[in-house]
Structure 1
Amino acid sequence: MSEARPEQFVAVLDFGAQYGQLIARRVRDLHVYSEIVPCDVSAEELRELAPSALILSGGPASVYAKDAPSIDPAIFDLGLPVLGFCYGHQIMAVTLGGEVSHSDVGEYGPATIERAPKSALFNATPLKQTVWMSHRDAVSRAPEGFIVTSSTAVCPVASMECPARKLYSTQFHPEVRHTEHGQQMLSNFLFDICGLSGDWTMENIVDRKVEEICKKVGEDRVILALSGGVDSSVVAALGARAIGRQMTCVFINHGMLRANEPEQVEEVFTKQFDVDFIHVHAEGRYAALLDGVTDPEQKRRIIGTQFWKEFFAVAQQLEEGGRPVKFLAQGTIYPDIIESGARKTGGKASTIKSHHNLIPFPEGVSFDLIEPLDHFFKDEVRELGLALGLPAHIVYRQPFPGPGLAIRIIGAVSPEKLQILKGADAIVREELDAYNQRLFDQTGERNSEHSCWQYFAVLPDIRSVGVMGDERTYARPVILRAVESSDAMTADWAKLPYDVLARISGRIVDEVPGVNRVAYDITSKPPATIEWE
């Protein structure tokens, strides 16, 4: 849980929903803080957490299935406003004496509901509207004291409410964009029903986080592994504002960064922010360790292991120089915690992947952790970066794996391959940065429908025949990867205009020696992943 939770916050009880994170984000979009907690939390534990309201998420199980998630019935007696979606709607019904039945016909996708004329949850929305359904089980009888507020041809109780107890629920999903008035319903719940203020803003967050860091650190020193990515850069900017040169930012240059990035990172954190900055030039050591290595997992292990060696060597030097470090600051964000299945989220997520900043310290190494972003989503981290004055090229930096270009080079890494990929990747980013900017100028949205979320070049370990200047060539192809996504959990290949693709291809072949062909990867995730290795 966060170190200093706002006085007003919404607890999202997670029943294993695919939209669990999305619910929390939609609440935060309305400037109300939210956290994901386990569905098996007890009423007593919730009383200690003291949330302002509860939202019960959806989930994949049937309420009558063996080992289906349940809820402590006493939670409904806490006097808190409660809003349930899908499974949360059904578990509220059966827990309070209603009935859920299995329907012969399911509803999956858009559905039309007709709502009751009077309903606090539906206030300022049409009597007939489109919502997003995903169910076969449905509430067939509402509990005593509840009134049915909407229905469909398939679902007799598409929503219900008990205003006297401030209990509300919907079979559909207000949190997804396909429910056309879903955000209005959330707003009605948070402000009209719960009476919340909606004052969770970036300016308030910066002040609170600075205060937290100052209080925790005191006069001690902090060390931060600064990659140049948005997460660690925002932590560095927060640390600079809170404790200045008590923080040492260690930038380990493994030689696998994109063109001009090391110079950009050094310029920002030596000229714009008042922190102690150390640039470790480890390019030669990494090149020797990676020489001839082709297996991607071995590349990752080598790069990760050497990273910590380089980092802890700097910590040791600080110790020997009379500047002992007590705290390690990390750019861990909320999805890192959730995806790693960590209990501290309070969620029910299974472990999806391990993150480098969640790996335990080596034996004999001990730091207290500072993770000021561990309850923020990526888009919120970017907003925080802008509020702290970070330049746009860092705030909107393309997602980039820790091992860098080493895993975008298929096969062994060499100086020649690195030079080719850096040149090709710089062109891809320049052209698609400009493409995204044009869309932003037209729509005013940073992530509009057709904008690219991530884009880069891949260098496969093959050569192909070509013709350049009337001569036969046998050179390398470059693969362009560009995807549309909001959270990286799923992604679709970007439908780029032909003129943009032609310009990227022409520039790479013309400007990057050793390349005679450009291919475009049009595979979605799943079945593919965004990265190649």
Structure 2
Amino acid sequence: MQTMANQLGGEVESSDHREFGYAQVRARGHSLLLKEIEDHTTTEGWGLLDVWMSHGDRVKTLPPGFKVIASTDSAPIAGMADEDRHYYGLQFHPEVTHTRQGMRILNRFLQDICACDASWTTENIIEDSIARVREHVGAEKVLLGLSGGVDSSVVAALLHRAIGDQLTCVFVDNGLLRLDEDRFMNALAGEDDPEKKRVIIGNTFIHVFDEEATKLQDVNWLAQGTIYPDVIESAGSKTGKAHVIKSHHNVGGLPDDMNLQLVEPLRELFKDEVRRLGVELGLPSEMIYRHPFPGPGLGVRILGEVKKEYAEILRRADAIFMEELHKADYYDKVSQAFAVFLPVKSVGVTGDARNYNYLIALRAVETIDFMTAHWAHLPYDLLDTLSRRIINEIADVSRVVYDISGKPPATIEWE
């Protein structure tokens, strides 16, 4: 909306009242886009929408021909429309699941205003993806880094259906999963910047894949489970035209000198769409609905420099977290949960003795598309059990905290 206003003769300014996360918008019913779309109604009869905001600027002056169609207290112009030209702009995000009427707004624009057909189905996505892979790859061989997560598993099933034995899957133990591996640890030694850590891990992954491709011979393609949120959050790392939220190891973390060409059949899909693809491809539900694990592994769940000592502490804390979530029947009720290692120490008391040990942060979120998220309201007795077990069973931990930040303003992962 801000770009539209700026280019068509309006004015955009920085706002003293930034909005990140949930907001309530007054929807003005005289707009075709928002007509009869509302979550609540005020006593005065105004329609209200529960939406998700993420902005620090706002439109100050409308372009010629536009009218206000939505507003909040801090953003008097939260939506604008030129009905004659069918130009619409919204300050909030209709595309995210936390905007409750977002799908209706998008359907109104696409089907009623633009007269588009809703033809993008799971079956069509699979057929189109198989056709594109066969067209690009031809008879050449493909190497896939298979982590066991939902994204890479769906890519494996899709590529196997498309090219069969031309596909070779490789699992890379980066030392930040279950077993230590010195190559990645040595590369990360002394580095505490989260962006640089992601790039180092991405570079090391690619060098491993290049070596494996040489051993296998005639491998020209590297397949990845890149999904659309990865592309969005890494946007500025390649174009320089957007802010980098964080480089994903399979997008902004790839070296320029890699020898393999990329094939990324999930690049335009969100996590919920990838899971629907997995169901259609016949993957087991425990694989499709397992919690996401970042490509860089524990490297982005250890704040600052990565050390083997820190990774071992974090593995044990995370295992306790997962075990208790399963016991309490909460694992499938949250979308993602994990522990984070904080390399700072806090005073504690063990018996009659003072101790001075590390902090563990626990994070659990609820989301569908992973573009936005609410923190999960875990029961107090579950949090109490988690805290007591982690502190009692891991001698190097003196304090446990629970992260209650939404996305936005925070990201789901800490780094």
Q: Do both share a fold (TM > 0.5)?
A: yes
> Which residue does the alignment assign to 1:115?
29
- Relative to structure 1, the CA distance from residue 296 to residue 370 in structure 2 (aligned partners, 3 Å threshold; closer, same or farther) is same
Query: 1:188-203, aligned counterparts within 5 Å?
Result: 188-203=108-123
| Higher alpha-carbon Rg | 1
1:295 to 191, 212, 218: 191
Aligned equivalents of 1:224 and 1:294: distance in 2? 30
- Relative to structure 1, the CA distance from residue 464 to residue 328 in structure 2 (aligned partners, 3 Å threshold; closer, same or farther) is same
Query: 1:36-51, aligned counterparts within 5 Å?
Result: none
Give a deviation string over 1:44-67, Cα, whole Å, max 9, x none. xxxxxxxxxxxxxx12x694xxxx
Give a deviation string over 1:429-472, Cα, whole Å, max 9, x none. 233356674884xxxxxxxxxx464422426464855436xx75
Alignment pair present for 1:325 and 2:207: no
| 1:464 and 1:516 in contact (8 A); partners too | no
Name the amino acid aligned to 1:129. G
Structure with the greater relative contact order (CA < 8 A, sep ≥ 6): 1 or 2?
A: 2
- Relative to structure 1, the CA distance from residue 385 to residue 344 in structure 2 (aligned partners, 3 Å threshold; closer, same or farther) is farther
Deviation at 1:288, TM superposition (A): 7.2
Alignment pair present for 1:129 and 2:47: yes
Deviation at 1:337, TM superposition (A): 2.9
> Which residue does the alignment assign to 2:317?
424
- Indicate the SS of the match to 1:169: strand
> Which residue does the alignment assign to 1:314?
212
- Relative to structure 1, the CA distance from residue 223 to residue 386 in structure 2 (aligned partners, 3 Å threshold; closer, same or farther) is same
2:398 to 509, 517, 525: 517
Aligned equivalents of 1:357 and 1:287: distance in 2? 16
- Relative to structure 1, the CA distance from residue 257 to residue 152 in structure 2 (aligned partners, 3 Å threshold; closer, same or farther) is closer
Alignment pair present for 1:161 and 2:161: no
| 1:159 and 1:169 in contact (8 A); partners too | yes
| 2:27 and 2:69 in contact (8 A); partners too | yes
Unaligned runs of 5+ in 2: 39-44
TM-score by length of 1: 0.59
| 1:429 and 1:456 in contact (8 A); partners too | no
> Which residue does the alignment assign to 2:297?
404
Aligned equivalents of 2:149 and 2:375: distance in 1? 23
Deviation at 1:501, TM superposition (A): 0.6
- Indicate the SS of the match to 1:296: coil
Aligned equivalents of 2:141 and 2:71: distance in 1? 61
- Relative to structure 1, the CA distance from residue 480 to residue 386 in structure 2 (aligned partners, 3 Å threshold; closer, same or farther) is farther
Alignment pair present for 1:349 and 2:245: no
Name the amino acid aligned to 2:208. E
> Which residue does the alignment assign to 1:502?
384
Unaligned runs of 5+ in 1: 1-57, 71-90, 263-282, 441-450
> Which residue does the alignment assign to 1:386?
279
- Relative to structure 1, the CA distance from residue 431 to residue 392 in structure 2 (aligned partners, 3 Å threshold; closer, same or farther) is farther
Query: 1:62-211, aligned counterparts within 5 Å?
Result: 63=5, 68=6, 70=7, 91=8, 110-116=24-30, 121-122=33-34, 124-125=36-37, 128-131=46-49, 135-139=58-62, 142=65, 159-162=81-84, 167=86, 169=88, 173=92, 175=94, 181-211=101-131
- Relative to structure 1, the CA distance from residue 130 to residue 178 in structure 2 (aligned partners, 3 Å threshold; closer, same or farther) is farther
Deviation at 1:295, TM superposition (A): 3.4
Aligned equivalents of 1:439 and 1:288: distance in 2? 32
- Indicate the SS of the match to 2:171: strand
> Which residue does the alignment assign to 1:277?
none
% identity of equivalent residues: 38
> Which residue does the alignment assign to 2:143?
223
Give a deviation string over 1:509-529, Cα, whole Å, max 9, x none. 45x353563411446478876
- Relative to structure 1, the CA distance from residue 476 to residue 396 in structure 2 (aligned partners, 3 Å threshold; closer, same or farther) is farther
> Which residue does the alignment assign to 1:286?
183
Instruction: Name whichever of 234-243 and 418-427 sits farther off.
Output: 418-427
- Relative to structure 1, the CA distance from residue 342 to residue 329 in structure 2 (aligned partners, 3 Å threshold; closer, same or farther) is farther
| 2:342 and 2:359 in contact (8 A); partners too | yes
| 1:123 and 1:185 in contact (8 A); partners too | no
Name the amino acid aligned to 2:206. W
Name the amino acid aligned to 1:388. L
> Which residue does the alignment assign to 1:235?
155
- Indicate the SS of the match to 1:356: coil
Please give the root-mean-square deviation of Cα atoms over the aligned residues, in Å: 4.6
- Relative to structure 1, the CA distance from residue 287 to residue 476 in structure 2 (aligned partners, 3 Å threshold; closer, same or farther) is farther
Name the amino acid aligned to 1:514. A
Alignment pair present for 1:247 and 2:129: no
- Relative to structure 1, the CA distance from residue 423 to residue 391 in structure 2 (aligned partners, 3 Å threshold; closer, same or farther) is farther
Give a deviation string over 1:5-62, Cα, whole Å, max 9, x none. xxxxxxxxxxxxxxxxxxxxxxxxxxxxxxxxxxxxxxxxxxxxxxxxxxxxx12x69
| 2:344 and 2:359 in contact (8 A); partners too | no
| 1:100 and 1:141 in contact (8 A); partners too | no
- Aligned length in residues: 390
Deviation at 1:426, TM superposition (A): 1.1
- Relative to structure 1, the CA distance from residue 140 to residue 460 in structure 2 (aligned partners, 3 Å threshold; closer, same or farther) is closer
